[in-house]
Amino acid sequence: MQGTPAGGTSPGPSPMDRQTLLVFSLILAAALGQMNFTGDQVLRVLAKDEKQLSLLRDLEGLKPQKVDFWRGPARPSLPVDMRVPFSELKYIKAYLESHGLAYSIMIKDIQVLLDEEKEAMAKSRRLERSTSSFSYSSYHTLEEIYSWIDNFVTEHSDIVSKIQIGNSFENRSILVLKFSTGGSRHPAIWIDTGIHSREWITHATGIWTANKIVSDYGKDRVLTDILKAMDIFIELVTNPDGFAFTHSMNRLWRKNKSIRPGIFCIGVDLNRNWKSGFGGNGSNSNPCSETYHGPSPQSEPEVAAIVNFITAHGNFKALISIHSYSQMLMYPYGRSLEPVSNQRELYDLAKDAVEALYKVHGIEYFFGSISTTLYVASGITVDWAYDSGIKYAFSFELRDTGRYGFLLPATQIIPTAQETWMALRTIMEHTLNHPY
Amino acid sequence: MQPRRQPPPAPRSGPGNPRPTPLLALLLLLAPVVAPAGSSGAENPAQPQDAGVPRRLLQQAARAALHFFNFRAGSPSALRVLAEVQEGRAWINPKEGCKVDVVFSTERYKPESLLQEGEGRLGKCSARVVFKNQKPRPAINVTCTRLIEKKKRQQEDYLLYKQMKQLKNPLEIVSIPDNHGHIDPYLRPIWDLAFLGSSYVMWEMTTQVSHYYLAQLTSVRQWKTNDDTIDFDYTVLLHELSTQEIIPCHIHLVWYPGKPLKVKYHCQELQTPEEASGTEEGSAVPTELSNF
């Protein structure tokens, strides 16, 4: 249990130290013995003189025990604090009143306080002050990820910075990490994870990857060469509203949370909302569908933010959009069976990337164009990227192939991230070596 | 996920290139090897398609066959998952549906058992699957090589049965797996039995284009019985891949080790409850096939 002061963020001890200690011990008791303190109160009594003090001491001796002194009877000038179980309240208050002992109620219901404290503790435990204690092999909440981002940027400010590229429908920040060794408008690589909120393995992989980049920079020759010439941008939580919803209400939510007047169902599939073959096969005009494309291309703020950012930047050379599940690495088009002009190159690159991935843990991936490998899908990210001139546009579907699906056990996060990294690195290296 | 303990194969490419086996190599001579500028499209109902064309269709057929096989076997300890489609042919009639012959390999659903059983232990199945357009319940004829010794399977089933019977009721289940993908070992028998029951549902609902996975169990209720059978109700969430929809289904099943599984279900997209009993004649009998 962390020794942080209840709910506080200041480093020093709080003025309510003793009470805090007692509260903590109650929490422990509650946790271990599953005790319930509902309705119990803490009374503060002021004894005027020694006579009143001894009356209080008498309470201590009662069997069965009726009070629990937090601050025992010592001297008349000092307040006496005692915890009174709910069942004894009537008796004790009558006792105090009949003997003229003045008292006030310090805590009206201990259980409520305990619950609040527990929540605050858990919260402060999650909002770690450094990334060294952040667990890369667990799934995290939005708050935890955003907190990690701030710590991460602080710790690696020499090559990492944070950019807000817009706001989600429910007004959450949309954040991008930029990895750069300097220069102005270096050719760039884009990676996004979490465009579909239920695909938790993707955010987890993105976070691990970000850390991998800063760890390996200066050590891995290939990565160092990439970063010397190019910038990498990673958007970890591409659909923050949807992601928050998977934690709070519906673990299997896919879309964003946009609402439109007169429309009964919520949300647009952000991977059908792009301006490339918008509204075609493999997307749905029914707002209640999981592949609802939205009213118009880029109608969703989460998509518009990326489009605006990439377009304004003007120098992206590769775009990789990460999903789960199915274990596939694919390139455009999704909207039709028509092959892209550099299909042969993309096929060979995908093949190399998948082989590099396989070498890590023996996991097999299918590869090919989206329409022939997975299904026809219109208005998707990588089709838009390709049509916008980004020649190296890839889409991943990470582990697994259906055994756990979206609910991939956290024990698979690091192995998945490790193998995916080798594929990403292959693609980035190729992009570096084939400038255009 | 257990890595495959075999010599590293060439990774799988698009529909033109399933991993070659000697038999398949022959078929591949007829089909384009380099991928995927789309299907070769020929739809003459009398002619079999090349292996090159409908990898997806072969997979659909294998999945349907495997769901059916699992249901017929009625053994929650002997559940199988698809390892790899190896070869197949399809006869497509756009107006009516299609008939698919497919050979595929399977592995045990329980990952732990891969370590116990020895490395690379794969079962082989061959199936004929007939999909009828707009109609559920593909007709299946499937045979598989035995993966687990019959006695061992019976023992494991009986152990699972005992574990189920020992569960305290009412079961306070929120979801299995939990949102982080974890299944409490204590709850594992519930999941395996639910998967078995869901196999029936997924068999019926698989078509040429739709296929399903069991995403999560969201409620479980076990009933006391007079006759020692396991009787329980549960709600599952199925994930359909081509539409990405999540379909809640309510399933009621009755099971006893060695006896056919009885399943009733009602999924949110279907309007009528379905009833099934394992007493129909079927052909999903595991046998040793000497030519595999």
Domain boundaries, chain B: 55-112+119-267
Contacts of A412 in chain B (CB under 8 A): 1, 181
Same domain, A178 and A57: no
Tell whether A240 and A99 lie within a shared domain: no
By C-alpha distance, the chain B residue nearest A356 is B11
Which pLDDT value is given to residue B221?
Answer: 87
Q: A380 — contact with chain B (CB < 8 Å)?
A: no
Q: How high is the pLDDT of residue A36?
A: 76
Q: Is the pLDDT of residue B192 over 50?
A: yes
The reply to whether residue A368 touches residue B81, judged by beta carbons under 8 angstroms, is no
Which alpha helices (H) appear in chain B, and where do they start and end? 22-28, 55-73, 113-117, 150-166, 188-205
Interatomic CA distance for residues B254 and B256, integer angstroms: 7
Note whether A92 and A142 are same-domain residues: no
Which pairing describes strands B230-240 and A366-369: parallel, antiparallel, or unpaired? unpaired
Does the pLDDT at position B244 exceed 70?
Answer: yes
**What confidence category does residue A117 fall into, taking pLDDT thresholds of 50, 70 and 90?**
low
A406/B237 CB distance under 8 A = no
Are A372 and B109 an interchain contact pair (Cβ–Cβ within 8 Å)?
no
Mean pLDDT of B55-84: 95
For residues B59-63, give the mean pLDDT.
Answer: 95
Identify the sign of the CA torsion A361, A366, A369, A370: negative
A173 and A236 co-located in one domain: yes
pLDDT reported for residue A44: 83
Q: How far is B248 from chain A (nearest CA, A)?
A: 12
- For chain B, say whether A402 makes contact (Cβ under 8 Å): yes
Enter the DSSP assignment of B31. S
Residue A101, pLDDT score: 86
Both A239 and A366 in one domain: the answer is yes
Are the Cβ atoms of A365 and B177 closer than 8 angstroms?
Answer: no
Query: Pick from B271, B187, B202, B182: which is nearest to B232 by CA?
Result: B187
User: In angstroms, what CA-CA distances link A266 with A198, A241, A287, B206, B211?
Assistant: 15, 12, 7, 28, 25
A422 falls within a domain: yes
Are A256 and A343 part of one and the same domain?
yes
In a domain, A27, yes or no: no
Tens digits of residue pLDDT in A324-356: 999 999 999 999 999 999 999 999 999 999 999
Res. A102 pLDDT band, cuts 50 70 90: confident
Same domain, A231 and A91: no
Distance CA B13, CA A347 (A): 9
pLDDT at residue B271 greater than cutoff 50: no
Same domain? A268 vs A372: yes
* Gap between the Cα atoms of A291 and B243, Å rounded: 7
Taking only the tens place, the pLDDT of each residue in A365-420 is 999 999 999 999 999 999 999 999 999 999 999 999 999 999 999 999 999 999 99
Q: Which long-range contacts does B208-212 make (Cβ < 8 Å, 24+ apart)?
A: B208/B57, B208/B60, B208/B97, B208/B98, B208/B131, B208/B133, B209/B60, B209/B242, B210/B240, B210/B241, B210/B242, B210/B243, B211/B59, B211/B60, B211/B63, B211/B64, B211/B240, B211/B241, B211/B242, B212/B238, B212/B239, B212/B240, B212/B241, B212/B247
Question: Chain A 24-83, CB below 8 Å of chain B: which residues?
Answer: none
- Which comes out higher in pLDDT, residue A21 or A312? A312
Q: How many CB pairs under 8 A join A and B?
A: 116
Percentage of chain A modeled with pLDDT above 90: 68
Share of chain A above pLDDT 70, in %: 88
Both tokens of residue B167? 């569960």
Which of B8, B34, B179 has the CB atom closest to A407's CB atom?
B179
Number of domains comprising chain A: 2
Indicate whether A20 belongs to any domain: no
Closest chain B C-alpha to A364 CA, distance in angstroms: 6
Inspect the interface and report whether the beta carbons of A405 and B239 lie closer than 8 Å.
yes
Residue that finishes a domain, picked among A108, A123, A156: A108
Question: Is the confidence at residue B43, as pLDDT, over 70?
Answer: no
Taking an 8 Å cut-off on Cβ atoms, the answer to whether A410 and B4 are in contact is no
Most confident of A95-104, A170-179, B30-39, B75-84: A170-179
Active-site residue, A290 included: no
Residue A27 vs residue A187, higher pLDDT: A187
Say if residues A379 and A296 touch (Cβ distance below 8 Å). Answer: no
CA-wise closest residue to B270 among B137, B133, B138: B137
- Cβ distance of B181 and A409 shorter than 8 Å: yes
The two tokens of residue A163 are 């950019």
Q: Kindly report the nearest CA distance between residue B141 and chain A, in angstroms.
A: 24
Q: How far is CA B129 from CA B72, B99, B203, in A?
A: 15, 6, 11
Q: In the prediction, which pLDDT does B134 show?
A: 76
Asked if residue B132 has pLDDT above 90, the reply is: yes
Examine the pLDDT at A30 and tell me if it is beyond 80: no
Residue A51 and residue A187 share a domain? no
Which of A53-67, A277-291, B98-112 has the least mean pLDDT? A53-67
Does residue A114 sit within a domain? no
Query: CB burial class (10 A; 0-12, 13-18, 19+) of residue A55?
Result: middle
Q: pTM here?
A: 0.75
ipTM of the complex: 0.76
Closest-CA distance, B179 to chain A, in angstroms, reads 6
The predicted pLDDT at position A201 comes to: 98
Question: Can you give the CATH number for the domain in which A71 is found?
Answer: 3.30.70.340
Question: Which of the pair, A112 or A394, is modelled with greater confidence?
Answer: A394
For residue B44, is pLDDT > 70?
no
Give the integer Cα–Cα distance in Å for B186 and B174: 14
A204-252: pLDDT as tens digits: 999 999 999 999 999 999 999 999 999 999 999 999 999 999 999 999 9
pLDDT of residue A88: 87
Average pLDDT over residues A288-317: 98
Identify the domain containing residue A207 by its residue range.
134-433
What pLDDT sits at residue A118? 66
Tokens of A38: 């509902």
Q: Is A178 helix (H, G, I), strand (E, B) or coil?
A: strand
Could you tell me the fold of the domain covering B55-112+119-267? Nuclear Transport Factor 2; Chain: A, (3.10.450)
pLDDT grade for A116, boundaries at 50, 70 and 90: low
- Does residue B290 have a pLDDT over 50? no
